C-alpha cells in the first residue's frame, strides 16, 4: 500500500510539474503583468498569465495538431473580422462627419448670402448641438471614451488594464462622440479615437462580444487568455491607424513602433493582414460612395491629401529652411506637450472633479469660442483679388459657395475676390489641410493670415485638449504644422525666386515636423505622411525633418502619449532602463517584503494575508524531506480569489491532497480564472466565507505557476529590467546566489533537430573532479525531484 | 591589522560585484553569443558579451554623462559615415555596371548592323571576360564574397560570426565581383551583395578600419564590444537595402523584419537616420550624373521602375487572377528554394571541393550558356510589326539601337518591326524589368515569348545560384515574377476586355508574388515594391498577393535565406521555440556536463580543462565561510585565453589576490579581450606556457561575468528559449530550485522616479512569520555578501 501511495504521489507531482507551458502555440508564456499601482485606483493589473498548469490545457495539448490548426484559423478569422469592423467603423465615422459638416457649411453659406448675422447664429448653433451631443454621450454613458485613447491602449499593450477602456459602451461612445466633436468643428481629430475604436472592436471580438449587453456568442469565446487578447488589440490598433489615414503600412508600423511593448514576427504577419483587409474595405466603401450614395462624403474627405503634383526636385539650398522647419516643429511640439500637460493636470485635479455638468459646460464653452473665432476672424480680414490663373489647372477663383476647394469668397465686396483666412479657418479640417498642402497656388495666403491662424489654432488645440470629448491630435497637429510650414515656404519662394518650389511641399514638411516634435514617432509617422500625401519623392525630406524635430523635442520633454500616460498614472515601462539602475542590484529594487504561502494553506490565513497587503503575487514555499525549504512556484492573488470564491478546492486536511486522491477530478475550467477585460475583477469584498470555510485548507500546488523567472539577488538592475520588459513579465523572484550549476544551456542545446546524439561528450578534469564528488554526495535525486521530496515526506507521514 | 585586511576584502569584493553592468548606455548587456557549432568548423562564436566587470569600465562610468554624450555622438557619426559609404558604394557599383553593360550593348548593336556572327562573338567575349574577372577575384582573393551574403549577415546578427564575411577583402571582392557578374549579364542581381557591402562597411568602421591592411585609425576604435558592432552592422544592412533599391523605409523594415534577431527602438531611430543619409547621397550622385558626367549611368539604371502611369483602379473581378498570381508565386518560389537547395548542396559537397579552377570553369560555362541563350533565342523568334501608337506617349517603335526602351529591332527583316523576346532577353535586367512593368504597351509581348523567357530565365537563375560570384536574388526574382505576372495580365486583358487594365500592373504583382514565395518577407518586401515602383495605389494589392504567396510557400519549405543558412551550417535561432520544447524541462536540454572552475585556479588545470572540451563558458565556484559552495559567475573561454596569453595576472599564491593587494593595478584594457571581427580569435595552440607558468595561479574574480542569467532546472524549455532569444544570450545557468525568495520585483519596483519613499509597506502575517524566523536565522549578511564570505574566510586564513 505504501508503494502505491508513493507511486501516486510521484505521478501527481510529475503532473503538477509537467504542466509548465501554457497555451496553444508554444510561444511566449508570461506576458506583461503589472502590480496594481497604488496611487491611482483606476489602474488594474492585466493578467496575461494564463492558468498554465491546469489540467484542462493538458487535455487540449493532447488534442494536438488539429486543435492548433483550428486555433490558428480562428486567429486569422478574427484578424479578418477586426479589419472589416474597423474599416466599417472608419467609414461610418467619416461618412457622418462629412455629412454633418458638409450640411452645416452648405446651410451657413446659403444663409450668409442674405445675412451674415443669421448665418453666424446658425453656424454656432449647429456646432454647439453637435459638441453637446458628443460631450453628453461621453460624460453620461462612456466616460472612458474621452480623449484620444492612445495612451490607454499603449498602457494596455504594455501590461496595464485600465477600467472600462475596452468595453462596448466605450466603443459606442467613441464612435458617436467623435462624430459630434469633429463634426462640431472643434480643434481635434478623429484619428486617435479610431485607433481606440479598432482596439475596442478587437477586444470585444476577443471575448466573444459584450457580456453585459448579452451580445456574447459562445463559439467565439476561444480567446480567454490575456496574451491572445493583447495580440488582437495590437491588430485592432494597427487597423485603426490603417483606417484613419488609409495608410495600411503606416498602421503596421504604428503598432510596432508606438504601442506594442513586445513583438513577434508571427504577430507582424497577422497585423499586416488586418491592415490589408482594412484597406480593401475602405476602398470598396469609397468606391460605392463615389457614385453619390453617401451625400457629402466621398467628394472631398477621408484623408489622402494628394500632393502628387508637388515639387519634384529640391536643391541643397532648401536644406536650410527645411532644417529650420524641423527645429520649429520640435520646439512647438515640445511646447504643445508641456502646455497640454499643465492644462490636463489642472483639469483632472480641479475642474473635472466638480462633476459632469462642469465638463459639459466646459466643452460647450470651447465650442462657442471655436465657432466665434473661426467665423469672426475671417470677417475682420480684407479680401484679396483672385490671381490670374490658367484655366487648365482646374482651380476656380472664387470657388462656388458650399463646395470644397481653395479661394473661398467670404465676406468679400467684389465677386472676383477671396478670403484667405476663411479658406483655411472656415472649413472642415480635411479641406483646410488640403488647401494648405495644395500646389500651384503660390501666394494664395498672406503671411498675416497664416500667422493669425497659427496662433489661434494652436491656442484652440491646447485648450480643446482634455475636454471630455473623443479627441485625436493628428489632424490638429497637421494643421498647425502645415501653417508654419507654408509660412516658411512663402519666404523660401520669395528668397530663392525659383519656380519649382511649392509652398504646399513646405506645408507637408511642417506638418511632419510638428507631429515629430509632439508625438516623437519616426518610422511610422514618416510612412503615414507618405501614404496620406501619396508622394514618395519627398520621403528623404520627411525623414530629415522628422529626425531634427524629434531630436529637438526630446531635449525638452517626453512624447505626447508618454506625458499623458504619466499624467493618468499609467505606469509604462520604457524601452530602456534608467541610468541609475546600472548601479543598483536586483535586491535593492525589491520595495516590499515578500509574503509567502506554504503549499497547503489555511483559508483564514489566506484571507488575512490578502487583506493585509496589496501584492498580486506570492511565492509558495514547500519543505523537502530533510526540512529544507524550497520555492515551488508563484500564486497570483486573482487566482487565489477565484479559489476562495468557488470553494470547491477546500479540504479538511492540512496535507497535500494529491497523495490521498491520486488523480484529481477537474473542478475548474480555465475561463474561471480569467478576469474579463477592462473590469475590476474579483475583490476580497465580493467573497463571503463562513466560519467553517475559514477553518478549511487549500492545496495550492495545482494552481501555481511552477517556474517563474528568477534572478540572483546581486544581478544588475539593468539586466533585470531588460528581462522584465523583453519578456513582458509581471513578477520576478529575487533569489540567493545559487550554490551550484546543474547545467549550462547554450545556443546548440536549443537547436533541437533530429541529430541529438552527437552532443554528449563526457569530460573529466582535475579541477572539476573535486566539485564532481561533492555534487554526487549532494544527491542526484534531490536535484531532479525537488517537489517530490516534499511530497514523499508528507506522504510518508500520512500513510 | 585583521580589520584592515577585512576592510580591504570587503572593498575589493564590492568593487568586483558592483561592476555588473557593461558598457555605455545601460542597455541590454549580454547579446547573442553562440556555442561553437561542432560540425562546421567555419562557424565561430560571436562574443557580444563585453568584459563587463573590468575596472576600466568602472572608470569610464565615472566620467559620467560627458562620456555618454561623446559615445552617443560617435555612434551617430558612424551612422552618418555608414550611410555615406554605402551610398557611394552603391553608386559606384551601379555606375560601373551600367557603363560596362551599356558599352557592351552599344558595341554589339553597332556590330550586328553588319554581322550578327561577329556581334555574337563580341557579346559572348565581353560577358566572358567580365564574369571571369568576377570569379577570379572572388576565388583567389575573397572567397567569402561569393553568393548574396544575406544568410551570413543574418547569422551574424543572430549571434554567429562566420570567418571572413566582414573583412576588408570581402568588401573589395564583393564590390568588384558584383560589377563583373552583373555586368557580365548573368541571371543574378547586385542587391543582395549591396546589403553585404553595407554590412562590411559598417563593421570595418566599427573596428576603425582594417587592421590587416593598416588602414586602421586609432580614434575610431571606440567600438570594441560586439554589441556595438552588431548595431552598426544592422545599420549597414539597412543602408545596403536603402541604397540597392533606393528604398529608405524598405531598408529600415528589411533590417527589422529579416535580419535582426533583437531590436530596440533606439536602434530603429539610428537605422532610420542611416537610411535617410543613403537616400540623400544617392540622390545627390544621381543629380550630378544626370548632367551627363557618368556615361551610360543615370539615363536608365538604378532601379525605380516608375509605374506611376499604371492602372488607377481595380475591380473585384480582378481579385481572382491576382490571387492566382499569388498562388503561382508561392509555388514557383518554393520550387526555386528547393531546387537551389539541392544544387547548392551538390556544389558544396562535390563540385566546389575540387578547387578554385573548377569554380572558375563553372562560372565561365554558366556565362557562355547565358550569353548563348540570351543572344540565340531572340534570333529564333519572328519579329512582330510595330503597333500604331500615338506620338504623345513618347514610346518609339522600333527604338533606336543601343538606347534603352521597349520595342527593340533585333534580327528583324523590316524597319517597323520589333523582336519582343529580345526586348526582355537581350537587355540589362533593369531595362528588361522596366519594359515588363511598362504601361500603355498592351500586347507588346506574345505569350509564347513570355513563356520561353520564363522557362529559360528560371533555369538560368537556378543554375547560376551558388556559382562563386557575388549574386543577389532580388532582381532575378523580379524578372521571373513579372514575366508570369504579365502573362496573367495578358489573359485578364483578353478576358475582361476592359480598357483600364494594364499588363504592367500584373507584372508588378507577379514580381511581388515570386519574391514573397521565395524570400517570405512581407512588410519590408511590400514597402520595397512600393518604393521602387513609386506607386502607392497598388499597396493593398501587393499586400494581398504577398500574403497568399507567402502562405503557399510556407506550406512547402522555409524561406530562401533560412534554407541557405541551414545548408551552410549557420545555426539560426528561430523566433519561435519548437513544439517539442513544451514538454521539456531546462535540465533536459543541457547536453553536456558542466565543467567549472574554482575562483583561484592553477594554470595547468586551466590548460587541461580548456584542452579537454570545447565549452565556451565555465561557471566559477567559490566557497563561503561555512564551506558551502557558491556560484560566483561565468568565465568565458576567450577571456581565459587572453589571460593565459598575457600572463600578467599569474600569481604564486593559491589565495585570492584582492585580500593581499587592496586595489589592484589595471593591467588590461578592455580591447585586449575583444576578438577581432570575422577572425578565429585566440586558440590554445597560440599560447606558449613554460613549466613555471603552469605552476602559477590565476584569480578569476575580476574577469568573470558575476551575474549571468539563471533558470531553475525544471522550467519549461519554451520559457528558457524565449529568455535566451529575446535577450540574445550565450549562456544560461541551470540551477537548482531556490530555497527561498529574497524579494519580488514587480512593475512598480522598476518605475524608478523621484518618489521612492511611498513604496515601503511592512507586513507581518501569520503565515510569513514562521518563514521569517528561519530567514533571519540563516543570516542576513550571508544573503547580502555571498562572495565576501568566501573572501573573508580566506582572508582570515591568510592573516
Query: What is the DSSP track for A493-560?
Result: HHHH--TT--HHHHHHHHHHHHHHHHH---HHHHHHHHHHHT-STTHHHHHHHHHHHHHHHHTT---H
More confident residue, A669 or B663: A669
- Kindly list the residues from chain B whose CB atom is less than 8 angstroms away from the CB atom of residue A716: 20-21, 29, 707
Q: Test B740 with A739 for CB contact under 8 angstroms.
A: no
Q: How many residues does chain B have?
A: 799
Read off the pLDDT of each residue in A543-551 and give the average, rounded to a whole number: 90
The packing angle between helices A65-112 and A226-245, to 10°, is: 30
User: Which three three-digit cell numbers place residue A662?
Assistant: 491520486
Question: Beta partners for B384?
Answer: B418
- CA geometry: angle B768, B772, B777, nearest 5 deg: 160
Rounded Cα distance, B641 and B687, in Å: 8
Can you tell me which residue has the cell 462612456? A142
- Kindly list the residues from chain B whose CB atom is less than 8 angstroms away from the CB atom of residue A771: 596, 598, 621, 629
CA distances for B702 relative to B7, B392, B675, angstroms: 18, 78, 19
pLDDT band, very low/low/confident/very high, at B181 (cuts 50, 70, 90): very high
More confident residue, B502 or A196: A196
- Kindly list the residues from chain A whose CB atom is less than 8 angstroms away from the CB atom of residue B40: none
Predicted local confidence at residue B198, as pLDDT: 94
pLDDT in tens, B37-80: 333 333 333 333 333 344 344 444 555 566 667 777 888 888 99
Distance of CA A62 to the CA centre of its chain: 35
Can you tell me which residue has the cell 520595495? A591
Predicted local confidence at residue A498, as pLDDT: 67
Asked whether the predicted pLDDT for residue B311 surpasses 70, the reply is no
- Kindly list the residues from chain A whose CB atom is less than 8 angstroms away from the CB atom of residue B726: 726-727
Single pTM value for the model = 0.80
pLDDT band, very low/low/confident/very high, at A209 (cuts 50, 70, 90): low
Q: Test A761 with B592 for CB contact under 8 angstroms.
A: yes
CA distances for A260 relative to A153, A236, A269, angstroms: 9, 12, 14
Rounded Cα distance, B538 and A622, in Å: 62
CB nearest to B21's CB, from A543, A573, A718: A718
pLDDT band, very low/low/confident/very high, at A502 (cuts 50, 70, 90): confident
CB nearest to B590's CB, from A731, A740, A744: A744
Give the contacts of A171 (CB within 8 A, at least 6 positions apart): A197, A200, A201, A204
- Environment class of A354 (CB within 10 Å of its CB; exposed 0-12, middle 13-18, buried 19+): exposed
Q: What is the bridge-based pairing of β-strands A731-735 and A710-712?
A: parallel
Report helix, strand or coil for B603: helix
Q: Test A573 with B751 for CB contact under 8 angstroms.
A: yes
Can you tell me which residue has the cell 568586483? B16
For A35-104, the DSSP string reads PPPSS-TTEEE------TT-HHHHHHHHHTHHHHHHHHHHHHHHHHHHHHHHHHHHHHHHHHHHHHHHHH
Read off the pLDDT of each residue in B291-320 and give the average, rounded to a whole number: 68
A430 HSE (CA, 13 A, CB side): 25
Predicted local confidence at residue B657, as pLDDT: 67
Report helix, strand or coil for A732: strand
Predicted local confidence at residue A457, as pLDDT: 93
CA of B705 vs chain A CAs: smallest distance (Å): 10
Asked whether the predicted pLDDT for residue A604 surpasses 80, the reply is yes
CA distances for A749 relative to A338, A760, B154, B592, angstroms: 51, 11, 20, 9
Kindly report whether the peptide bond that precedes residue A744 is cis, defined as omega within 30 degrees of 0. no
- Kindly list the residues from chain A whose CB atom is less than 8 angstroms away from the CB atom of residue B748: 34-35, 37-38, 571, 591
Nearest of A216, A164, A160 to residue A572 by alpha carbon: A160
Asked whether the predicted pLDDT for residue B396 surpasses 80, the reply is no
- Kindly list the residues from chain B whose CB atom is less than 8 angstroms away from the CB atom of residue A630: 737-739
B313 HSE (CA, 13 A, CB side): 9
Predicted local confidence at residue B553, as pLDDT: 94
CA of A468 vs chain B CAs: smallest distance (Å): 29
For residue B192, give the H/E element and its range.
helix B191-206
Predicted local confidence at residue A43, as pLDDT: 36
Report helix, strand or coil for A256: helix
Rounded Cα distance, B594 and A200, in Å: 51
Asked whether the predicted pLDDT for residue A348 surpasses 60, the reply is yes
Give the contacts of B463 (CB within 8 A, at least 6 positions apart): B187, B343, B366, B369
Rounded Cα distance, A487 and A499, in Å: 17
- Kindly list the residues from chain A whose CB atom is less than 8 angstroms away from the CB atom of residue B29: 716, 718-719, 722
User: Which three three-digit cell numbers place residue A276?
Assistant: 490589408
pLDDT above 70 covers a percentage of chain A that reads 74
Lowest mean pLDDT among A73-87, A297-311, B379-393, B689-703: A297-311
Lowest mean pLDDT among A184-188, A344-348, A434-438, A479-483: A434-438
Q: What is the bridge-based pairing of β-strands A629-636 and A617-623?
A: antiparallel
Give the contacts of B299 (CB within 8 A, at least 6 positions apart): B404
Predicted local confidence at residue A672, as pLDDT: 65
CB nearest to B738's CB, from A284, A617, A735: A735
| Pick among B261, B274, B524, B536 to test the A interface (most A CBs inside 10 A) | B536
More confident residue, A384 or A31: A384
Rounded Cα distance, A243 and A90, in Å: 6
CA distances for A27 relative to A24, A62, A726, B582, angstroms: 8, 17, 14, 9
Question: Beta partners for B67?
Answer: none
The packing angle between helices B319-349 and B447-464, to 10°, is: 30
Rounded Cα distance, A307 and A310, in Å: 5
Q: Test A276 with B543 for CB contact under 8 angstroms.
A: yes
pLDDT band, very low/low/confident/very high, at B266 (cuts 50, 70, 90): confident
pLDDT band, very low/low/confident/very high, at A211 (cuts 50, 70, 90): low
User: Which three three-digit cell numbers place residue A168?
Assistant: 462596448
Q: Test B522 with A269 for CB contact under 8 angstroms.
A: yes
More confident residue, A113 or B682: A113
Asked whether the predicted pLDDT for residue A660 surpasses 90, the reply is no
Question: Beta partners for A624?
Answer: none
- Backbone phi, then psi, for B300, in 5-degree steps? -125, -35
User: Which three three-digit cell numbers place residue A650?
Assistant: 477546500
Predicted local confidence at residue B21, as pLDDT: 30
pLDDT band, very low/low/confident/very high, at A88 (cuts 50, 70, 90): very high
| Pick among A63, A531, A534, A536 to test the B interface (most B CBs inside 10 A) | A536
- Of A181-190, A646-655, A672-681, B685-694, where does the model show the most confidence? A181-190
Rounded Cα distance, B735 and A738, in Å: 7
Asked whether the predicted pLDDT for residue A780 surpasses 80, the reply is no
Task: Evaluate whether A684 touches A641 at the Cβ level (below 8 Å).
Answer: yes
Asked whether the predicted pLDDT for residue B219 surpasses 60, the reply is no
Can you tell me which residue has the cell 543572430? B158
Q: Which runs of consecutive H residues, i.e. helices, occur in A394-496?
A: 420-425, 429-437, 447-464, 474-496
CB neighbours (10 Å) of residue A285?
A: 22
Asked whether the predicted pLDDT for residue B461 surpasses 90, the reply is yes
Nearest of B486, B395, B396 to residue B443 by alpha carbon: B486
- Kindly list the residues from chain A whose CB atom is less than 8 angstroms away from the CB atom of residue B606: 767
CB nearest to A716's CB, from B614, B631, B707: B707
Rounded Cα distance, A207 and A218, in Å: 9
Q: Test B786 with A736 for CB contact under 8 angstroms.
A: yes
Read off the pLDDT of each residue in A677-694 and give the average, rounded to a whole number: 77
Rounded Cα distance, B401 and B112, in Å: 10
Nearest of A189, A255, A274, A278 to residue A524 by alpha carbon: A255
Read off the pLDDT of each residue in A524-530 and give the average, rounded to a whole number: 86
CB neighbours (10 Å) of residue A780?
A: 11
Task: Evaluate whether B441 touches B309 at the Cβ level (below 8 Å).
Answer: no
Task: Please give the mean pLDDT across all residues of chain A.
Answer: 76
Closest Cα in chain A to B602: A767
Rounded Cα distance, A346 and A367, in Å: 20
Task: Evaluate whether B47 touches B34 at the Cβ level (below 8 Å).
Answer: no
Asked whether the predicted pLDDT for residue B309 surpasses 50, the reply is yes
CB nearest to B707's CB, from A578, A583, A715: A715
Rounded Cα distance, B251 and B235, in Å: 9
CB nearest to A750's CB, from B522, B721, B766: B721
Predicted local confidence at residue A666, as pLDDT: 54
pLDDT in tens, B135-150: 999 999 888 888 888 9
- Kindly list the residues from chain A whose CB atom is less than 8 angstroms away from the CB atom of residue B735: 738, 740-742
Read off the pLDDT of each residue in A366-385 and give the average, rounded to a whole number: 88
Rounded Cα distance, A708 and B714, in Å: 10
CA distances for B157 relative to A4, B45, B235, angstroms: 54, 12, 11
Predicted local confidence at residue B324, as pLDDT: 94
Amino acid at each position: 500500500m505504501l508503494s502505491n501511495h508513493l507511486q501516486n504521489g510521484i505521478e501527481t507531482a510529475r503532473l503538477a510539474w509537467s504542466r509548465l507551458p501554457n497555451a496553444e502555440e508554444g510561444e511566449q508564456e508570461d506576458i506583461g503583468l503589472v502590480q496594481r499601482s497604488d496611487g491611482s485606483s483606476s489602474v488594474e493589473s492585466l493578467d496575461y498569465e494564463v492558468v498554465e498548469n491546469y489540467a484542462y490545457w493538458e487535455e487540449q495539448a493532447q488534442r494536438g495538431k488539429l486543435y492548433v490548426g483550428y486555433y490558428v484559423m480562428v486567429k486569422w478569422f478574427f484578424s479578418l473580422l477586426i479589419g472589416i469592423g474597423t474599416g466599417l467603423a472608419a467609414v461610418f465615422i467619416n461618412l457622418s462627419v462629412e455629412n454633418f459638416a458638409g450640411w452645416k457649411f452648405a446651410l451657413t453659406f446659403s444663409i450668409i448670402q442674405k445675412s451674415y448675422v443669421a448665418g453666424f447664429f446658425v453656424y454656432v448653433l449647429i456646432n454647439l448641438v453637435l459638441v453637446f451631443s458628443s460631450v453628453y454621450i461621453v460624460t453620461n454613458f462612456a466616460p472612458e471614451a474621452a480623449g484620444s485613447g492612445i495612451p490607454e491602449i499603449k498602457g494596455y499593450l504594455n501590461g496595464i488594464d485600465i477600467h472600462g477602456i475596452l468595453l462596448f459602451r466605450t466603443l459606442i461612445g467613441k464612435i458617436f462622440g467623435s462624430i459630434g466633436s469633429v463634426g462640431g468643428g472643434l480643434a481635434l481629430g478623429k484619428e486617435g479615437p479610431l485607433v481606440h475604436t479598432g482596439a475596442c472592436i478587437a477586444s470585444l471580438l476577443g471575448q466573444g462580444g459584450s457580456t453585459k449587453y448579452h451580445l456574447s456568442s459562445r463559439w467565439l469565446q476561444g480567446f480567454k487568455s490575456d496574451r491572445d487578447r493583447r495580440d488582437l488589440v495590437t491588430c485592432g490598433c494597427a487597423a485603426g491607424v490603417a483606417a484613419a489615414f488609409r495608410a495600411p503600412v503606416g498602421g503596421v508600423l504604428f503598432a510596432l513602433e508606438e504601442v506594442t511593448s513586445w513583438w513577434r514576427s508571427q504577430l507582424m504577419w497577422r497585423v499586416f493582414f488586418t491592415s490589408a483587409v482594412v484597406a480593401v474595405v475602405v476602398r470598396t466603401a469609397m468606391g460605392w460612395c463615389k457614385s453619390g450614395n453617401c451625400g457629402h462624403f466621398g467628394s472631398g474627405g477621408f484623408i489622402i491629401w494628394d500632393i502628387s503634383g508637388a515639387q519634384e526636385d529640391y536643391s541643397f539650398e532648401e536644406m536650410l529652411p527645411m532644417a529650420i522647419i524641423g527645429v520649429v516643429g520640435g520646439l512647438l511640439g515640445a511646447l504643445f506637450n508641456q502646455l497640454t500637460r499643465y492644462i490636463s493636470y489642472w483639469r483632472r485635479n480641479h475642474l473635472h472633479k466638480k462633476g459632469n455638468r462642469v465638463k459639459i459646460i466646459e466643452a460647450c464653452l470651447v465650442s462657442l469660442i471655436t465657432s466665434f473665432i473661426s467665423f469672426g476672424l475671417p470677417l475682420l480680414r480684407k479680401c484679396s483679388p483672385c490671381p490670374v490663373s490658367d484655366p487648365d489647372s482646374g482651380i476656380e477663383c472664387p470657388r462656388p459657395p458650399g463646395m470644397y476647394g481653395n479661394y473661398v469668397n467670404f465676406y468679400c465686396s467684389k465677386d472676383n475676390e477671396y478670403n484667405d483666412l476663411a479658406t483655411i479657418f472656415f472649413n472642415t479640417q480635411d479641406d483646410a489641410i488640403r488647401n494648405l498642402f495644395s500646389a500651384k497656388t503660390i501666394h494664395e495666403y498672406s503671411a498675416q493670415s497664416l500667422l493669425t491662424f497659427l496662433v489661434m489654432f494652436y491656442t484652440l488645440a491646447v485648450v480643446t485638449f482634455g475636454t471630455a470629448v473623443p479627441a485625436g491630435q493628428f489632424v490638429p497637429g497637421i494643421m498647425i504644422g502645415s501653417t508654419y510650414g507654408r509660412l516658411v515656404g512663402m519666404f523660401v519662394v520669395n528668397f530663392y525666386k525659383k519656380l519649382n518650389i511649392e509652398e504646399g511641399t513646405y506645408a507637408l514638411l511642417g506638418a511632419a515636423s510638428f507631429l515629430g516634435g509632439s508625438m516623437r514617432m519616426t518610422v511610422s509617422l514618416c510612412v503615414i505622411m507618405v501614404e496620406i500625401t501619396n508622394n514618395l519623392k519627398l520621403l528623404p525630406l520627411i525623414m530629415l525633418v522628422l529626425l531634427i524635430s524629434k531630436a529637438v523635442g526630446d531635449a525638452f520633454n517626453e512624447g505626447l502619449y508618454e506625458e499623458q500616460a504619466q499624467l493618468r498614472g499609467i505606469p509604462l515601462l520604457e524601452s530602456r532602463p534608467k541610468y541609475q539602475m546600472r548601479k543598483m542590484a536586483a535586491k535593492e529594487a525589491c520595495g516590499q517584503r515578500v509574503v509567502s504561502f506554504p503549499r497547503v494553506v489555511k483559508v483564514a490565513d489566506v484571507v488575512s494575508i490578502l487583506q493585509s497587503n496589496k501584492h498580486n503575487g506570492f511565492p509558495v514555499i514547500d519543505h523537502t524531506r530533510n526540512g529544507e525549504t524550497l520555492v515551488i512556484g508563484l500564486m497570483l492573488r486573482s487566482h487565489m480569489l477565484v479559489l476562495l470564491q468557488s470553494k470547491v478546492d477546500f479540504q479538511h486536511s492540512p496535507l497535500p491532497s494529491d497523495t490521498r486522491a491520486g488523480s484529481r477530478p477537474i473542478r475548474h475550467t480555465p475561463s474561471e480564472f480569467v478576469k474579463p477585460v477592462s473590469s475590476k475583477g474579483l475583490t476580497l469584498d465580493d467573497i463571503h466565507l463562513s466560519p467553517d470555510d475559514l477553518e478549511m485548507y487549500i492545496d495550492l500546488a495545482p494552481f501555481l505557476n511552477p517556474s517563474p523567472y528568477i534572478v540572483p539577488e546581486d544581478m544588475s538592475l539593468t539586466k533585470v529590467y531588460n528581462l522584465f520588459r523583453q519578456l513582458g513579465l509581471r513578477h520576478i523572484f529575487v533569489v540567493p546566489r545559487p550554490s551550484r550549476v546543474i547545467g549550462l544551456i547554450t545556443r546548440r542545446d536549443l537547436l533541437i533537430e533530429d541529430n541529438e546524439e552527437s552532443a554528449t561528450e563526457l569530460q573529466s578534469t582535475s579541477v572539476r573532479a573535486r566539485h564532481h564528488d561533492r555534487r554526487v554526495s549532494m544527491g542526484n535525486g534531490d536535484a531532479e525531484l525537488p517537489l517530490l521530496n516534499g511530497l514523499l515526506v508528507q506522504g510518508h507521514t500520512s500513510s
